[in-house]
Amino acid sequence: MVSTARVVVIGGGFGGLNAAKGLKRGPAEVMVIDRTNHHLFQPLLYQVAAAVLAPGDIAVPIREILAKQRNATTIMAEVVAIEKEAKQVVLANGDRVSYDYLVVAPGARHAYFGHDEWEACAPGIKTLEDALRIRERLLISFEKAERCDSISEAEKYLNFVIIGGGPTGVEIAGAIAEIAQLTMIQNFRRINPERTKVYLVEGCEEILPPYPKRQGKYAREALEELGVEVLTNTMVTHIDRTGVTFKGGKLIPSRNIIWAAGNQASPLLKTLGIELDRAGRVKVQPDLTIAGYPEIFVIGDGAYLEDKKGKPLPGIAPTAIQQGKYVAKVIRKKIAPDKRKPFRYFDKGMMATIGQNKAVAVLGKFGLNGYLAWLAWCLIHIAYLIGFRNRILVLINWCFEYFTGSRGSRLIDRGLSDDH
């Protein structure tokens, strides 16, 4: 008789969910534990922040996804510690859950490089709550600017500063520029939304550092066509409610600062009591386990592993998906530690959208810019969304915005009482 393994999966993101689904037909009892009740499609989270999509368009309840998987259960709880020797995870309420195999995929948060006090004024975009808070600030800024008696007074509400010139920063900068120029222009009487200034700040020589220079140059030119001011080789020294201060003393007054400059792995990984890198990631073995514990796998944003060329694997959705499937296969087939083949990442490329009809893509040795890259970006993101309903809703919203310029998710839930 085949014994049934108890598998605990921490995190319902791309990695954790694919690990759980990969065990559907295996001799396993799977428990997925997540702080929220939903799986979030993070690549489109910035579009919630920019009022393009509604939260329900890119999020699906984890229970719904696993509803037909008879060997899977879901718990909404926060894991605060992992006890390796006891083979247990500890929940925030003190409950303990035992495991035979543990898949750790808790995701990451934004890193402020020793300045955590900046988060209050410069939130990042990692959760629905983050995106909704940024959307609220964005929409309230236009409302408050409309009530100002002078252009100089309104300036702090119409300046948007995005710190970090990676894919997320580029995408949110383009989205904010478009909402000002295409969506808001007909909606206000006292202010001209076209006066909105969007700044994209990057410490490196070019934006999109992981991309070839050709794609970075195209992205910069496309953003500048949208009115975005791109500041490269620029270091931030201070952030507060008055704005952003740069090395050299320059201040950009702004109440709308978005952080997209770095990630820090979940603090839960510290409870493993093993070596972590500077970003808080676990230096995993070739089979994605931790040294000395072949039953504990760490995947996704929390894992540090180098490819054949000695470069760290990218912290993107395809990496987590492939790792989740790999781990599921190892557990399902009960492959002994000394028989496991090393995890190999298949690079499917990188993409970033800048605005309507404008995107960059790197597919192997080939690069694409412009409309074809944008079309490929749209199709691939639709395909990766979980659930037919979500795919249809996102497609409809994109078509509606494309042809009308209007964005439907512009309700302010908390009103103007916030001391923004």
Residues 6+ apart with CB under 8 A from 316: 350
Question: CB neighbours of 236 closer than 8 A, spacing ≥ 6?
Answer: 163, 201, 203, 244, 245, 246, 247
For residues 141 and 138, give the distance between their C-alpha atoms in angstroms, rounded to a whole number. 5
Q: Are 33 and 79 in contact (CB under 8 A)?
A: yes
Active-site choice (171, 178, 202, 206): 171
Looking at the DSSP bridge assignments, the partners of residue 33 are 10, 75
Q: Kind and range of the H or E element at 55?
A: helix 55-58
How far apart, in whole angstroms, are the C-alpha atoms of residue 138 and residue 48? 11
Measured distance CA(334)–CA(118) in Å, rounded: 46
pLDDT at 194: 67
Residue entry with tokens 């790197």: 362
Active-site residue flag, 171: yes
CA angle 139, 35, 289 (to 5 degrees): 120
Q: What is the pLDDT of residue 403?
A: 85
Q: Which two tokens stand for residue 247?
A: 């090395």
The β-bridge partners of 126 are none
Total Cβ atoms within 10 A of residue 117: 12
CA Rg value for the chain? 22
Going by C-alpha positions, the residue among 15, 83, 86 that lies closest to residue 271 is 83
* Residues 110, 124 contacting (CB under 8 angstroms): yes
Residue 361: the pLDDT is 96
Burial of 190 from C-beta contacts in 10 A (0-12 / 13-18 / 19+): exposed
By C-alpha distance, which of 348, 330, 333 is closest to 286?
A: 330
Block mean pLDDT (10 aa), the chain, length 420: 86 97 94 97 94 93 96 97 98 97 96 93 94 92 84 83 96 92 74 83 94 95 96 96 94 94 94 94 97 97 93 93 98 96 94 95 90 96 92 93 78 56
Q: How would you class 83 by CB atoms within 10 Å of its CB: exposed for 0-12, middle for 13-18, buried for 19 or more?
A: middle
- Given the structure tokens 């008879």, which residue do they identify? 70
State how far the Cα of 334 lies from the Cα of 344, in Å rounded to an integer: 19
| Strand, helix or coil for residue 46 | helix
Nearest in space to 60 (alpha carbons), one of 323, 391, 294: 391
Res 341: pLDDT: 97
pTM, whole model, 2 decimals?
0.91
3-state secondary structure of 58: helix
Q: Which residue has the tokens 């988060």?
A: 119
Using an 8 Å Cβ cutoff, are 49 and 409 in contact?
no
Contact by Cβ (8 Å): 163, 238: no
* Closest CA relative to residue 380, chosen from 311, 298, 321, 420: 321
Span between the terminal Cα atoms of the chain, in Å: 63
Nearest to 42 by CA among 270, 232, 300: 300
Tokens 């979500």 -> residue: 390
pLDDT value at residue 148: 84
Q: Which residues contact 310 (CB under 8 A, 6 or more apart)?
A: none
Distance CA 407, CA 420 (A): 23
